[in-house]
Amino acid sequence: MREVIIIGSGPAGYTAAIYTARAGLKPLLIASSVEAGGELMKTTEVENFPGFPEGLQGPELMANLQAQAERFGTEVLLDDVIEVDLTGDIKILKTGGGETFEAKTVILSTGAAYRELGLPREKELSGHGVSWCATCDGFFFRERTIAVVGGGDSAMEEAIFLTRFAARVYLIHRRDSFKASKIMVERALNNPKIEVIYNSEVAELHGEGKLTGVTLRDTVNGSTNNLDLDGLFIAIGNDPRVWLVENQVELTPEKFIKVDGRSSRTNLPGVFAAGDVIDPTYRQAITAAGSGCVAALDAEHYLQSH
């Protein structure tokens, strides 16, 4: 029986691991078999994580967090939790690798998964011009014409990053202003390779075996027009990853895990949640890390009184 098991390996999960490990609780962190490190594994330069004045690469930040967690005795397992029973005093977790674990407390930090446009043929064209990972795929679009869909910081970051390769980058956004931070919007608007298409959404994907373009629909007057493209990068946000626990843990109306006030306590005793899976608002590496710390302290407190 473990004192604490942490599910997820982004900034929230690793921070919870650092704190619970330093408290002598020997946490097991189940990192996922292929998404270990979480969303930051797909980013490049992280400039806003405090304590790194020159910035650092997302994957490097995650490697640092893992090393720090392991230094204090965290055990990291590269596997996927596929089934849980969190309702009893003893929490039971099963992994894709066929192992079963028991724990007194569980910290859920499963993060969020990228959102799809929901268009027909989106799956078929994924990896054939439609992409969710600018850092992975930008390289293949040298001197090509591509577009980024979205209006948040991720969309700005991707569009700016992609100008290193592409001849032209359209930024397609359904509103007439961006919700991204001011510094990112300014960088995007000042980039001569980026052209913003406001009040537009992608209505249709074109191409056989490979993306050749899209139909854009004007969100104000409904008119449509075609845009020829070699690549389309989708950055329209994320949805909290709750499928594992949604039949046991109470969710908010927006399908985030519901926690009690400023704490990480879910409706189930001994079950705590942290990071993007509870956060519809801020979703930063540093807020996720802070939230992982809260969960660790809450779990520690719970173990002292049970």
- Residue from 24, 33, 64, 226 touching another protein (CB under 8 A): that is 33
* Contact status, residue 187 vs residue 212, Cβ threshold 8 Å: no
CB contact set of 189 (below 8 Å; sequence gap of 6+): 196
Binding mask 93-132 for another protein (x = CB under 8 A): ---xx----------------------------xxxx-x-
Catalytic residue among 85, 136, 176, 260: 136
Q: 276 an active-site residue?
A: no
**Other beta carbons less than 10 A from residue 118's beta carbon:** 7
Residue 10 interacting with another protein (CB under 8 A): no
Of 136 and 183, which has the nearer Cβ to another protein?
136
How far does CA 31 lie from the centroid of its chain? 14
CB of 56 to another protein, least distance (A): 14
15 lines the binding site for another protein (CB under 8 A): no
> Residue 4 or 65: which CB sits closer to another protein?
65
Tokens coding 25: 């609780």
Catalytic residue among 79, 80, 89, 137: 137
Given 4, 5, 7, 36, the residue binding another protein (CB under 8 A): 36
Closest to another protein by CB, 43 vs 291, is: 43
The single residue among 68, 135, 145, 199 that binds another protein, judged by CB under 8 A, is 135
Cα radius of gyration (the chain): 21
CB of 129 to another protein, least distance (A): 6
Active site residue 293: no
DSSP strands (E only) in the chain: 2-7, 28-30, 45-46, 56-57, 75-77, 81-85, 91-95, 100-108, 112-114, 130-131, 145-149, 168-172, 194-197, 200-206, 213-218, 224-228, 231-234, 238-240, 271-273
Gap between the Cα atoms of 186 and 66, Å rounded: 34
What is the spatial distance between Cα 170 and Cα 126, in angstroms, rounded to a whole number? Answer: 19
Query: DSSP string spanning 221-276?
Result: T--EEEEE-SEEEE---EEE--TTTTTTS-B-TTSSBP--TTS-B-SSTTEEE-GG
Q: How far is the CB of 40 from another protein (least distance, A)?
A: 8
Which range in 39-47, 106-114, 187-195, 238-246 contacts another protein by CB under 8 A?
A: 39-47
Coil, strand or helix: which one is 77?
strand
Contact region with another protein (CB under 8 A), list: 22-30, 86-94, 137-145, 163-171: 137-145
14 is an interface residue for another protein by CB under 8 A: no
- Rounded Cα gap, residues 201 and 216, in angstroms: 6
Cα separation, 238 vs 24, whole angstroms: 34
Contact pick of 92, 113, 117, 133 for another protein (by CB under 8 A): 133
Interface pick for another protein out of 27, 37, 111, 151 (rule CB under 8 A): 37
Closest CB to another protein among residues 33, 252: 33
- Does residue 207 bind another protein (CB under 8 A)? no
User: By the criterion CB under 8 A, which residues form the site for another protein?
Assistant: 32-37, 41-44, 58-59, 78, 80, 96-97, 126-129, 131, 133, 135-137, 139-141, 210, 231
- The catalytic residue positions are 133, 136-137
